[in-house]
Amino acid sequence: MQNMTEIPVQETWCKSLEGEYVPECYTYCFEPLIEEDVEAKLKRWEQLIDNQFDDTAADPGKPQKGQGPTVYIGFDSEFVPGDEERDNVILSLQFYLVGECGVMQRVVYPSGPEKSQRPHFCKIIFDLIQEAMDRGVVLEWPNHVVLVGFFLRIDLQAFGDLVSFKQALENVGGRVSSVKSSVLLEPEVDDLDGLLNNQTYLATDRDGVFRTLKVRFVDAGGHVAMGTSLAQIGDWLDLPKLELPEGYLKERMDLLLQGNKHAFEKYGLRDSEIAVRFYLHLLDFAEKHAGKRSLPATASSLAVRIFTKTLKDSQVDFNAAFGVTEGSSTYWNSTRERVVTKTEKSPSPMRAINEPFIASCYSGGRNECYAFGPTTIGVFNDFDLAGAYTTGMVDLRHIDYDRYWYSRNPQDFVGHVLGFAYVRFAFPKGTRFPSMPVRNSHGGLVYPLTGLSYCTAPEIEVALNLGCKLDILHGVIFPWCEGDNRLFEPYVMHIRSLRKSFVKGSLFELYSKLLGNSLYGKTAQGLKAKTVFDSQGMKSVELPHSILTNAAIAAHTTGFVRAVLSEQIAGIPPHRNVISATTDGFITDADESELALNGPMAKRFQTLCQRVAPGSKMLERKHRVRQLIAMKTRGQLTAIPFESDPFILAKAGVSPQVESALHNDFMVDLFMNRCPGDMTITRPFTPFREQWVKDADVVRLTRQSRLNLEFDFKRRLLDPLEISVADGEHLSLTSVPWNDLAEFERARAVFDGWREKHCLKTLGDFNDWEDHYQFALVRDRLTNGCGRSFGIRPTSGGITDVFRRLFLRAYTQGLCGLIKTMTYPELAAWLTERGYPTKDSEVKNAVRSKFIEHAVPLTPRTAELKTLLVEGFPNIEIEKFIAIN
């Protein structure tokens, strides 16, 4: 697009490909204002003549590829959404074509509402190129076409021939894109003896030349942060998404088409324009900062490209830095009919030996909730570690993969050490926030007082500082190479420099931030087994490693960030509360002055912040509120905001069916009024696999799932209170760590059964839960965990009623030091008068039932009956009733 100046023209209307009237194309022209423009124009015309001569000299029986510059086409469709029973009704397809000499807009309409009446992609693209050439927007047949959309797999359903080329498209994180090559489209012409191996679209251009046309598909959504909308992209570009006229809804665009066709077409064309303009901006960015005018399918892939460029610019040997070797494999390629040699990278032998073990030490972030229900009213601060993972990656110096050594001495893992270990640990009783991660049976992390942990050196150091006793069962340490050069520092510094060069909040400032945050994920790709749908093979495959996948780098980065976070929450003063921790941040009522910034991890992280951003602080306060509601991990709501500060809102997986501004109120009401068995509705899109395998349209599905806003029991709840919140009252609880993993998993399993008919909302609910849980532990102990009946079952009266019935057995059988001083009717009346209804027949029948010792857990409710029985029967051996869990 160089050497061109846009000349504004008045919008006119012309017939579309299907005979409809749409906005006329806008054109650019060469303005010979300076000599350089004239020379460039002449040079281009000479090239055109040469290309035409080549075409005439070529074999007319064989298709010729185009030699013109790439043509970029923004694409969007409008439709009336269907559902699980009905297909979408495609209303229109919008195209915004950008050629070397201008742009052209077109709207194409299907011939009818049926799926079989949808237009074919091949014909549309061919006709668009031909018309663009006729209008001078494109000067010659292009070598490539790039089709750009936003959430492209939804819009591709508008093409009736998608089935003919869908397997040439690739699944990239749930998005459709061309990654390894241009899309392979089915030729229209038969009898070619597989000349092109179905790799291109074949057509005849306006000059009668038999042509190939390669098309690359790009989903622009792969270059924005999750949750970013097309409207936000338009705002960044100063090309705002158009609003629908008053009275019209997005779900019924057919009504807009009928009532205001001009507005309908302008709306759809703007969406296609935003998509292609965004892509072209990113293409310029990639050329400038990655040294190549091409854009990979995702921002993370571009981040890899920029990172490897910074290594090269810093004269760093990539293979040595990542511990990889290059090898080659030679094989016969039947398509090319020749021997082919392929070069591949793989971990070096010394790195590969330890890779599986170190991969076991790789885990995600520390995510826990430490309270349940409403907090008291105060000031609660949400602190985040500044650039947690990008800063954490700077902790990595260059690694000497060949001189690793094994150690079982915990002190060897203290300091700036790249170490990984499998340990047995035990924190002192009373430790509020143990710091050793233990993976539960579902793959999540729990932080108990004792257990076995795959961990990193920074986590070992934090644990030792908390008084933890550590026994390293297996440990490996990789020494750093000489010097203090940091592997990722040039990249991080480059990204920070880029961000500073742009206006804060602008397109490229936000995109640079995305590139900074995206790189870390590539170092961990494929370390944990994960299957993805292969759209080309139409089957599930394991997610492959990336070129940067490295267990030591990924495990150390996450371990270091967990260690910094663990040190912070462990250092909160005991009179202060911690509400939750989420990967790189935590919520507390402690003020910034009360935070533990003098620990070894904090000092190390702060030093890294100074390296990459002098003058910056390691912690940033993102939010502040006066009262919170804590539900579970990633589930916190704002009950009372702090003046004009933004809300704290983490919805625990719920998708409110209201506008975003009302999400917090919706969630508060949902939490306060929840009942056992409540369901929540989600509206997911048709899964990629189902769309591809069944040739299904992408529609919004309606799925109901059981609402779960209860605590996740990663810690044990205690200290119940009822607190005023949101015009009502609700149970509020604090927590302490579990003793070990088995204790946690048993509690959560018991709670999963209990919550089917209960919620934790009142003090009574909590006492019911404690009775249920403690009795479950008794039952496990007395049955050796086999779950069979041991002679007494709880009734609606709970374990207090179990206690009463065991007392009747002991009394009638003269056990536990009890002497019969009352008749059976008198005993029944005595218990009934004191709040424990008892029938005469129950006392009589108790003599025939077996007494079971130590079957009553001590809870607030059983403690009341215990006191009553001791007062009424001084000789009772009450300890024979009580279980100690």
522 contacts: CB under 8 Å, gap ≥ 6: 300, 303, 304, 546, 547, 548, 549
Q: What are the angstrom distances between the C-alpha of 694 and each of 161, 375, 427, 689, 690? A: 14, 50, 54, 8, 6
CA atoms within 13 A on the CB side of 838: 29
Here the tokens at position 399 are: 């690694």
Residue scoring higher pLDDT (2 or 140): 140
Tokens for 534, please give them: 């292969």
Instruction: With beta carbons less than 8 A apart as the criterion, state whether 220 and 278 touch.
Output: yes
Name the residue among 130, 142, 67, 66 with its Cα closest to residue 104: 130
Residue 466 sits at the vertex; the CA angle it makes with 461 and 470, to the nearest 5 degrees, is 60
Provide the pLDDT for residue 21: 39
What does the alpha-carbon distance between residue 530 and residue 113 come to, in Å, rounded to a whole number? 39
Query: What is the distance between the alpha carbons of residues 334 and 328, in angstroms, rounded to a whole number?
Result: 19
Contacts of 274 (CB under 8 A, 6+ apart): 74, 150, 230, 233, 234, 237, 239, 241
Question: So what's the pLDDT on residue 16?
Answer: 42
Q: Among the residues of 25-94, which ranges form H helices?
A: 35-57
Compute the average pLDDT of residues 367-381: 97
Residue 267 has pLDDT above 70, yes or no: yes
Per residue in 799-839, pLDDT tens?
A: 999 999 999 999 999 999 999 999 999 999 999 999 999 99
CA distance 648 to 631: 13
* Cα–Cα distance, 235 to 48 (Å, whole number): 38
Cα–Cα distance list, 393 to 300, 387, 493 (Å): 15, 10, 12
Q: How far apart are CA 7 and CA 31, in angstroms?
A: 9
Cα–Cα distance for residue pair 161/90, rounded to 1 Å? 14
Question: What is the identity of the amino acid at 159?
Answer: F
Average pLDDT over residues 482-509: 92
Average pLDDT, the chain: 89
Token representation of residue 144:
């490539």
How far apart are the C-alpha atoms of 565 and 292, rounded to whole Å? 39
Closest to 630 measured CA to CA, from 381, 378, 374: 374
CB distance 524 to 549 below 8 Å = yes
- Residue 682 has a pLDDT of 86
pLDDT class of 787 with cuts at 50, 70, 90: low
Model confidence at 178: pLDDT above 90: no
Q: What is the CA 816 to chain-centroid distance, rounded? A: 59
Helices 299-313 and 507-524: crossing angle in degrees, nearest 10, is 80
CA distances from residue 636 to 475, 568, 630 in whole angstroms, order as listed: 38, 20, 5
pLDDT computed for residue 24 by the predictor: 42
User: pLDDT value at position 19?
Assistant: 43
Q: What is the pLDDT of residues 69-109, one digit of tens each?
A: 999 999 999 999 999 889 999 999 999 999 999 999 999 99
Q: How far apart are CA 164 and CA 181, in angstroms?
A: 17
Show Cβ contacts of residue 593 under 8 Å, excluding neighbours closer than 6 positions. Answer: none
| Whether the Cβ atoms of residue 459 and residue 559 lie closer than 8 Å to each other | yes
Instruction: Record the tokens describing residue 184, joined without a space.
Output: 């392979």
Helix count and strand count (H, E) for the chain: 24, 37
DSSP per residue over 782-796, as a string?
Answer: HTTTS----S---BT
Cα separation, 594 vs 478, in Å, equals: 36
Query: For 2-101, where are the E strands, in sequence order?
Result: 5-6, 13-15, 21-23, 26-29, 64-65, 71-80, 89-99
In sign, the C-alpha dihedral spanning 145, 698, 543, 363 is positive
Buried b (16+ CB within 10 A) or exposed e, 319-337: eebbbbeeeeeeeeeeeee
State pLDDT tens for residues 711-721: 999 999 999 99
How would DSSP label each residue in 573-624? -TTS-EEEEETTEEEESS-GGGS--SSHHHHHHHHHHHHHSTT--SEEEEEE
Residue 45 has pLDDT above 80, yes or no: yes
For position 32, what pLDDT does the model report?
Answer: 35
Q: Residue 864 corresponds to which amino acid?
A: E
Number of Cβ within a 10 Å radius of residue 281: 17
Q: What number is the average pLDDT over the span 497-506?
A: 91
Place of tokens 């139409």: 538
User: Given this model, what pLDDT does residue 20 score?
Assistant: 45
pLDDT at 9: 32
Cα–Cα nearest to 577, from 764, 377, 384: 377
Predicted confidence band of residue 36 (pLDDT cuts 50, 70, 90): low
Distance separating alpha carbons of residues 661 and 663, to the nearest angstrom: 6
**According to the model, what pLDDT value does residue 740 have?**
97
Whether the CB-CB separation of 199 and 208 falls below 8 Å is answered with: no
Mean pLDDT calculated for residue range 16-36: 41
Helix boundaries (H) for 502-575: 507-524, 551-570
- More confidently predicted of 181 and 540: 540
- What pLDDT is stored for residue 25 in this prediction? 42
Among 300, 259, 372, residue whose Cα is nearest residue 733? 372
Q: Tell which residue, 868, 862, 867, 864, has the closest CA to residue 883.
A: 862
Higher-pLDDT residue of 595 and 51 is 595
Per-residue pLDDT band at 535 (split at 50, 70, 90): confident
Whole-angstrom distance between the N-terminal and C-terminal Cα of the chain? 76
Give the 3-state secondary structure of 862-883. Answer: HHHHHHHHHHHCCCCCHHHCEE
**Alpha helices by DSSP H, 247-381:** 253-259, 261-290, 299-313, 318-322, 349-360
Per cent of the chain over pLDDT 70 is: 92
Residues of the chain with pLDDT > 90: what percent? 74
Model pLDDT, residue 383 = 97
Residue 709 token pair: 């806003």
The least confident of 40-49, 228-237, 286-295 is 40-49
Backbone angles phi, psi at 873, to 5 degrees: -135, 80
Q: How confident is the model at residue 459 (pLDDT cuts 50, 70, 90)?
A: very high
Sequence length of the chain is 885
Q: Beta strands 26-29 and 373-374: pairing type?
A: unpaired
- The candidate with the shortest Cα–Cα distance to 224, out of 145, 153, 282, 291, is 282
Instruction: Return the sign of the alpha-carbon dihedral for residues 582, 588, 590, 591.
Output: positive
Bridge partners of residue 343, in order along the sequence: 328
Question: What is the predicted pLDDT for the residue at 379?
Answer: 96
What DSSP assignment string belongs to 202-214? Answer: EEE-TTS-EEEEE
Residue ranges of E strands in 290-366: 324-333, 338-347
pLDDT of residue 185: 42
- The pLDDT of 96-124, averaged and rounded, is 94
| Tens digit of each residue's pLDDT (9 = 90 or more) over 680-690 | 988 889 999 99
pLDDT average, residue stretch 735-759: 96
Among 392-396, 527-531, 558-562, the minimum mean pLDDT is found in 527-531
Q: What is the mean pLDDT of residues 369-384?
A: 97
pLDDT at 207 over 90: no
| HEC per residue, 720-779 | EEEEEECCEEEEEEEEECCCCHHHHHHHHHHHHHHCCCCCCCCHHHHHHHHHHHHHHHHH
Mean pLDDT of 58-63: 74
Alpha-carbon distances, residue 186 vs 72, 110, 394, 772, 812 (angstroms): 21, 21, 48, 65, 89
What is the reported pTM?
0.88
Give the C-alpha separation, 619 to 605, whole Å. 10
List the structure tokens of 129: 């190129």
Q: Scanning the structure block, which residue is given the tokens 């009424």?
A: 872
* Per-residue pLDDT at 12: 34
Q: How far apart are alpha carbons 778 and 793 in whole angstroms?
A: 12
